[in-house]
Structure 1
Amino acid sequence: MNALPPLADLRATARVVSLPLATRFRGVDHREALLFEGPEGWTEFSPFVEYDDVEASAWLAGAIDFGWRPQPAALREIVPVNATVPAVPGSDVPAVLARYDGCRTAKVKVAERGQTLADDVARVRAVRETMGAEGRVRLDANGGWNVDEAEHAVHALAEFDLEYLEQPCASVDELAQLRERIADWGIPIAADESVRKATDPLAVARAGAADILVVKAQPLGGIHRALEIVAEAGLPAVVSSALDTSIGLSMGVALAASLPDLPFDCGLGTASLFTADVARPSLRPAGGALAVGRVSPDAALLDRHAAAPERREWWLVRLERCHALLAAGE
């Protein structure tokens, strides 16, 4: 990252918003984010509230990278994206998929705490039936299974012609074990948390524990750092979001647009999970893709969805703490 801008520059334009979700996701029904404007345009700082300051400071580095530093040249004008299906009952799947215009791929959440493999099977079956034989179906377990559970799940879910399995287990060692066990099934393993939450994001590639990297611009410290990680890993990459507003999604789209190769649809269609946004129009899929380009918020929408005063103060204090960590590390 270039020289860290003063905290006062970040606070000067800071807006904290709370956006309602159409379906409860990751245990929340509203998503909070802090937005601010840099010389290059608007950017977003939105680590999940449970993340500690050390982890959250990487997200701030990513936000500053996007707002203060010129970004790599785009190699494409649109980025194809997938639909995201939360851990809903199978009966709710058609309504969820209907929110994603033209998407040919669906990422389905599985291994949800408090649910069973039977729930996962019902959900994935409903996705396959709704999308038809031509649709692409990938699963995301968020590290929720151990190796035996993951292997059992593969046996139960493989009939639905899976594109890949994202973060089935939590650790790199478990991923490597599972990859070896299911080698004959032809289902690739993608690593997400083992990249963005790892002290060494390249460890999973060196261990031969994954076939695909899932990369997110904010958590990895920005677009420039994410591109470096993909290049060093030497694995195909999928760019995904972290339930961002359209401002944060535009950062992910810029990353996807600058990758030399983009063999998979990206997980950047998540504005369709919201019932409101900060931009007009919202950065939602059209024809299964998102347009490349910066996004600016609508002033009226910023006001309408402003977080409560105590939440705004919480985010500003968090911003100050994370900025101090980045300053200490310069």
Structure 2
Amino acid sequence: MHHWQVKIWLYRQHWHCPWDPQQSIRRGLYLQLQHPEGSCSWGEIAPLPGFSSHTLSESFQQLTDFLEHRHDASLRSAATYWGIQCAKEQRPQAEPDSLNQRYPLLQGDEQAILSYLEQYPGPLTLAKLKVARRALTEEVSLIAHINQAYPQLKLRLDANGHWNYQQAESFLAQINTANLAYLEQPCASLADCLKLAKADVPIALDESLQHQRIDAQTLANIQTLVLKPTLLGKNTDYYLQIAKTLNIPISISSSFESRLGLLQLKSLANQYGDLYPGLDTLRYFSHKQVTRLIYFRQFADNPLLY
């Protein structure tokens, strides 16, 4: 009798330059589904500490509960849901070199950012810069330096919701908005973001999408939806449909997954015509990865179907 086999691997990978000094190691799970004829499909389950609503141990528990009982109500972890979907749908991985076709993610101090741009190997037409990390005068000065050195470079500025409306308004009044591709999640408050969008500021939403399902009418003035399947889970498909209904762009974006997860995200971006997905995160990891088998079981039928 042919069986379906499920293996779950725990991986550990050191940060090359941690985005959070308290998080020196990135941990996640690989879900491996071996089909009866011998082929395998994969999914990555890697909740991001500080952003995901469930921990890695909670996500693992939900995964094993689902495998044992086949009940999707147990899938409250967005990361677990996304990993299962990738394995169940046999989501392909994009070609490995496709991750080189990216636009850079810029974070760190001014010297590090400008140095990285000087050494960037490809054409510079688009970059993403983390803002709301420094004093306002420093932010404005950095953007002015970038605009002067790279006048053709469009910037996606990501505040991760760290400003209130007045701070965002003050920031926008002091930069050259002609080089602004969009301002991503300037405020934690959805209402403040929508207010800026109605004032003709190109606004993208990220964190607000993770907290609730927002209807199409509310999102009518938003320029771009930034979709992170590891954090959105079931809501990924919902917002893909909203974007199609409104005919607005999406940006498939990384939550610091490993290479496997990034290649599957690139495949999703290709599927939906996202030419500039936000996947420039692999360089923040060391190359060495350690994996360990933590679960193995055989099933008479496909355990991911419910």
Answer yes or no: is the 8 Å Cα contact 2:10–2:27 preserved in 1.
no
Alignment of 1:55-70 (within 5 A): 57-70=77-90
SS, match of residue 213 in structure 1: strand
In the TM superposition, residue 160 of structure 1 has moved relative to its aligned partner by 6.6
Over alpha carbons, which structure has the higher Rg?
Answer: 2
1:240 matched to 2:256: no
Distance 1:248 1:103, change over 3 A: farther
In the TM superposition, residue 61 of structure 1 has moved relative to its aligned partner by 0.5
Distance 1:142 1:99, change over 3 A: farther
TM, length-normalised to structure 2: 0.73
Give CA-to-partner distance per residue, 1:213-254, whole Å, 9 cap, x none: 111232232775664353345321111111221111112101
**AA partner of residue 215 (structure 1):** L
Identity of aligned residues (%): 24
SS, match of residue 247 in structure 1: helix
Per the alignment, residue 302 of structure 1 pairs with 289
1:117 matched to 2:118: no
Alpha-carbon distance in structure 1 between the residues aligned to 2:79 and 2:166 = 33
**Pairing partner for 1:92 from 112, 129, 133:** 112
Distance 1:103 1:21, change over 3 A: farther
Per the alignment, residue 25 of structure 1 pairs with 19
**Pairing partner for 1:81 from 71, 77, 102:** 102
**AA partner of residue 179 (structure 1):** A
Per the alignment, residue 206 of structure 2 pairs with 192
**AA partner of residue 213 (structure 1):** L
Gaps of 5+ in 2: 35-39, 60-75, 296-303
Which has more strand, going by share of residues? 2
Distance 1:208 1:226, change over 3 A: closer
In the TM superposition, residue 256 of structure 1 has moved relative to its aligned partner by 0.5
In the TM superposition, residue 126 of structure 1 has moved relative to its aligned partner by 4.0
**Pairing partner for 1:37 from 21, 27, 32:** 32
Per the alignment, residue 292 of structure 1 pairs with none
Distance 1:30 1:258, change over 3 A: same
Alpha-carbon distance in structure 2 between the residues aligned to 1:271 and 1:103 = 19
**Pairing partner for 2:146 from 124, 127, 139:** 127
SS, match of residue 210 in structure 1: coil
Alpha-carbon distance in structure 1 between the residues aligned to 2:80 and 2:251 = 22
Give the aligned length.
Answer: 263
RMSD over aligned Cα, in angstroms? 3.4
Alignment of 1:42-57 (within 5 A): 42-50=42-50, 51-53=52-54, 57=77
**AA partner of residue 267 (structure 1):** G
Per the alignment, residue 231 of structure 1 pairs with 244
Alpha-carbon distance in structure 1 between the residues aligned to 2:283 and 2:48 = 19
Question: Which 4+ stretches in 1 moved above 6 angstroms?
Answer: none
SS, match of residue 279 in structure 2: coil
Gaps of 5+ in 1: 1-5, 278-300, 317-326
Alpha-carbon distance in structure 1 between the residues aligned to 2:86 and 2:242 = 17
TM, length-normalised to structure 1: 0.68
SS, match of residue 257 in structure 2: coil
Answer yes or no: is the 8 Å Cα contact 1:128–1:137 preserved in 2.
no
Distance 1:152 1:204, change over 3 A: farther
Alpha-carbon distance in structure 2 between the residues aligned to 1:16 and 1:152 = 43
Answer yes or no: is the 8 Å Cα contact 1:89–1:122 preserved in 2.
no
Alpha-carbon distance in structure 2 between the residues aligned to 1:163 and 1:147 = 19
Per the alignment, residue 71 of structure 2 pairs with none
